[in-house]
Structure 1
Amino acid sequence: MTRLAWGRVFGVLSQLAAIALLLVSAWLIVRAAEQPPVLYLMVAIVSVRFFGLSRAGLRYVERLLTHDAALARVTEARVAAYRDLDRVAPAGVTGRRRGDLVSRVVSDIDAVQDRMLRLRSPWVVALVSIAATTVLVAVIDPASGLVVGGAAGAAMALVRVIVPWAVRRSGDDSSGWRGDLAADVSHGVIAAPDLVAYGATELLRESAHRSIDRLASAQRSTARLAGIGEAVVLVATGIAVAVVAGMSAGLAPVLVGVVVLAPIALIEPLTAVADAEGLRPSIEDAERRLAELADAREAVADPVVARSAPTAFALDVDALAVGWTDIVASGIDLVLAEGEVVAVAGPSGSGKSTLALTLSRLVEPRAGAVRLGGVEVRELAAADVRSTIGYLAQDEIVFDTTIRENLRIAAPSASDADLLEALGRAGLADFVESLPDGLDTAVGERGSRLSGGERQRLCLARLVLGGHRVLVLDEPTEHLDEEAAEALLDDVLALSPERSIIVVTHSPRVLDRVGRTLELGCPGRPVGRRTRGQAAGV
């Protein structure tokens, strides 16, 4: 805040230098027309040079300080937004597609910077500049000072009311169309091979072009309406110039140029205010969306007083019901001793993935109980549960960075030896060591430089490195050929008995290898050591 305050001080000084440059130049031109001795003009000549140079220097310092403060504030806001997203995960913000959510979070956080730099700062600079100019003109001619101050004040009041109202009335939804466009492009990138294979690329292209056209139309409409503010400024200053010129008959000739040009000197700060007010609706909407994210209910709430994390990692599921808004599977019973392996099977929609997320403490149980090490998970901090139970999704995220950095997400302080050990447990150490850059090999966007099996092994190694004792793997062999799937399954099963493993799958080969199966949606079949798990309504 100190840097921001000093930055605004230098911004005011820069604007005052610009105003002084214009007014001193006006005095100099009029006085030079009287052809006095050149020494009479030296102070004015030096002043023009001084104000011209100082304006640029002061503006540079102002931008340096204010942007430094704004970027620091944006960094804090971005971290806070990521924490909010982590808190509400995996439910996230309802009604938002992935690309839409990413676009809105990124652009909305940038609006925090806009409020500091492009909304508040122009008002501060304009108010001080108008006050200083009005006082200066009033010293020369009180009536002219009243006209200049009144015209500037009226322009600011009209801009503050008219511009935001006009922008809102236009129904501008640029952020919405921008989010739709981002979602279309994001889905297109992810599903590009399938779209090409099925000849459906034209559908995506049409959808993206519709979003582009609507976004462009909304932005054009907003730009036209925001121009109303500049029109108000020009009309107000034009009237002020005409009135002051009519009142300047009794002034000394060298002062006429000063008072007449004074309203024109205020065009720049007033126009900056008009532009700022054009941004106000979008900034306020962005802050409202960020506030909604901050106020969103946690997907999983920690207890008021959490119990200490248990050292044991046996898992006991008793009459569990799972679901997001409605129950999709109920009556699920399972006992998983330390080091055991079990498969979860069932038709699509039977709740397999929802069960995996519930066991990983990413979704609240709808009914029943889940005990970890003999302790009900609702009595434990969610982070403690997740540090023990690790979840590997079917389409796990691999970041566009190196193998090393993808692994260190799980353990930032891990040494290279730790990374290679985890890769070895996942069956990927020999492959990584054979690469020219080893751990520093870039994996590409979404792991595009790795095969499907290598990508899954890298994600599995990340779980191993994180020290999770219970691994919940959601379709780990999906999209792999038979040989790669068998090899990956060998490495997965080799992680027991040090770890308990739950494999969510519909593959008969995986079910045969695991042996013990919990089936959802198929009543009447025994499950593990307890009764069957049965999907509601089946």
Structure 2
Amino acid sequence: MTVAAPRRNQWRLVRELFDDVPWSRTSFAMSVLCSVLASFSAVALMGIAGWLINRAAEQPPVMHLTAATVLVRACGLGRGAFRYVERLFSHDLALRLQSVLRLRTYDALAHTTLLSRRRGDLLVRIVSDVEAIMDVVVRVLLPFASAGIVVMATTIIIATMSVPIAAGLFLSALAAGVAVPLLARTASRAADRALIPTRGELAGIVAEINDAATDLAAYEDTSRIRALQEVDEQLRRAEERAAAVRGFAAAAQVVAAGVAVLWSLGFGIAQVEAGTLSRVELAVVVLTPLALHEVLTTLTQAAQTGTRAAAALDRVGQILDAPPLGQGDAVAGSPSEDPGISVTDASIGWSPDEPVRTGVDVHVAPGEWVALTGPSGCGKTTLAATIMGLIPSLGGHVEVRGTVGYLAQDAHVFNTSIRENVQIGDRDATDDQILDALSRAGLATPAGVLDRIVGEEGSMLSGGEARRLAIARLLVGGRQTWILDEPTEHLDTETAAALLNDLRELTADAPVLVITHDPAVMQIASRQIALDATPAGE
């Protein structure tokens, strides 16, 4: 899905979220502190244990080993305890940031036309891509910040025993914790960035296949399956490349750890012989690099995760930065004693630079059924969106009197109860009001009907029942002006006729604009307005 929007820098987005979430920086600081203590406990455990074993071999008085014994136990327990607390702080922060970002994304979608784009890709953006903010906090920023502090602290402590060994340890840590992750990130950048949009494309194709499964099977059309396999192969190759890079990076980090141990051993033996380093300290400076480099092993994956998270947040940023169109509210106007629609010499379109039509005149008075006809693409739905306030008119005059209800030909039915589906029209509607709306819409209302689950996209309902359920939403909301978009589409003749009769009765005193290709609808309309296929400006 290509969204025409300026690119939002992902780090600016992260900073904005930190500004919006109370105590976010404090929570992150606590996460880093606990992560440092957990990692440093692991490093200290190795060093102190090495000191304790070598000192014990010299058979000193037992009391001389007590402090070291206590520290070993404290580090062993502290490593798990601090890691647990770090997880509490970091995940709590990440989930709060994710909640704020998801709400902002939903709000942005409500004010744009992006909902008309490919649903599979859009679903990935608002679910998986939004979750990338958790990866940024937990799997990118936190590991690098923690590892940096632990490396500095360990280097300073080792420097009190041997400056050359500390320098070698620091250089090996830079190689394993900075150079290797950066090189790995560069090597797999293209693959990592491709993973996110490829997953969106995969989801889009899966959604298309799911929607058209019956037709594809009936016509034995395998083109979409082949497209799915091609995208899946692209995804597999990108994952393989990223995994191969991680493998080489892990090997390089092992080499860096080995070099650090050999460096420490070589300089340590020389210093022991020179009398500037004790034998017990030699064990500490040789074993410590092993534990320190273990802390650095996750940084390569963190660097790759950072690339993927940046790509995901870029896609979320495209939604957040998409220019708002109109009011973003499908219910235009306010209650009126004289409801109606007046469109005079209007220019309509989704882009100010490319109007779909100009000079549009549509007037609908109470009690009128005005049929809006014309070939596909001539601007009927664009006019309806303009009347409802989804997009602004590009010129002329558009006046809507009274609250407007819109009956889409593909009005979405959610996989929940009938009650909750009808309450979309009025969230505060009581059961009695819902039952009355259902009855007026022509749906049977036996006991317990409100709790009936209607299935995914109304799969437990017939086409006529789903359309009547959508009508009940408008009735419960008390809409005064109606816009009907292909109300009889995909219905059999008998069902369509019954629906039209009921709609005509329900809207006897209301102004109704009907978008239709159905001759039966045109026949009962008060009058027709035909839009030709001539583009604006011709």
Q: Same fold (TM over 0.5)?
A: yes
Alpha-carbon offset, residue 31 of structure 1: 2.9
- Matched to 2:418, the amino acid is I
Counterparts of residues 42-441 of structure 1 (less than 5 Å): 42-89=66-113, 97-159=118-180, 161-170=182-191, 172-200=193-221, 202-249=222-269, 250=272, 251-300=277-326, 309=334, 311=336, 312-324=338-350, 326-373=354-401, 388-428=403-443, 430-431=444-445, 433-434=446-447, 437-441=448-452
Contact preservation (8 Å) 1:329, 1:520:
no
Alpha-carbon offset, residue 228 of structure 1: 4.4
- Matched to 2:461, the amino acid is L
- Matched to 1:66, the amino acid is S
Alpha-carbon offset, residue 492 of structure 1: 1.7
SS of 2:160 mapped into structure 1 = helix
Contact preservation (8 Å) 2:169, 2:260:
yes
Contact preservation (8 Å) 1:404, 1:439:
yes
Matched, 1:511 2:522: yes
Counterparts of residues 469-508 of structure 1 (less than 5 Å): 469-497=480-508, 499-508=510-519
Larger mean CA deviation between 346-355 and 269-278 belongs to: 346-355
Q: Report the TM-score when normalising by structure 1.
A: 0.86
Contact preservation (8 Å) 1:401, 1:442:
yes
Change (3 A) 1:501 1:346: same
- Matched to 2:303, the amino acid is E
Change (3 A) 1:505 1:119: same
Q: Which residue of 2 aligns with 1:449?
A: 460
Instruction: Report the Cα distance in structure 2 between the residues aligned to 1:108 and 1:286, rounded to whole angstroms.
Output: 5
- Which runs of 5 or more residues in structure 1 are unaligned? 374-386, 523-533
Count of residues paired in the alignment: 502
- Which runs of 5 or more residues in structure 2 are unaligned? 1-23
Instruction: Report the Cα distance in structure 1 between the residues aligned to 2:247 and 2:112, rounded to whole angstroms.
Output: 40
Instruction: Report the Cα distance in structure 2 between the residues aligned to 1:333 and 1:497, rounded to whole angstroms.
Output: 23
Question: Identity of paired residues, percent?
Answer: 39
SS of 2:392 mapped into structure 1 = coil
Instruction: Report the Cα distance in structure 2 between the residues aligned to 1:43 and 1:403, rounded to whole angstroms.
Output: 69
1 or 2 for the larger relative contact order (CA 8 Å, sep ≥6)?
Answer: 2
Q: Which residue of 1 aligns with 2:469?
A: 458
Instruction: Report the Cα distance in structure 1 between the residues aligned to 2:232 and 2:405, rounded to whole angstroms.
Output: 40
Larger mean CA deviation between 500-509 and 338-347 belongs to: 338-347
Instruction: Report the Cα distance in structure 2 between the residues aligned to 1:41 and 1:400, rounded to whole angstroms.
Output: 67
- Matched to 1:507, the amino acid is D
Of residues 16, 25, 42 in structure 2, which corresponds to 1:18?
Answer: 42
Contact preservation (8 Å) 2:48, 2:284:
yes
Matched, 1:7 2:31: yes
Instruction: Report the Cα distance in structure 2 between the residues aligned to 1:535 and 1:156, rounded to whole angstroms.
Output: 60
Contact preservation (8 Å) 2:135, 2:306:
no
Contact preservation (8 Å) 1:331, 1:535:
no
SS of 2:479 mapped into structure 1 = coil
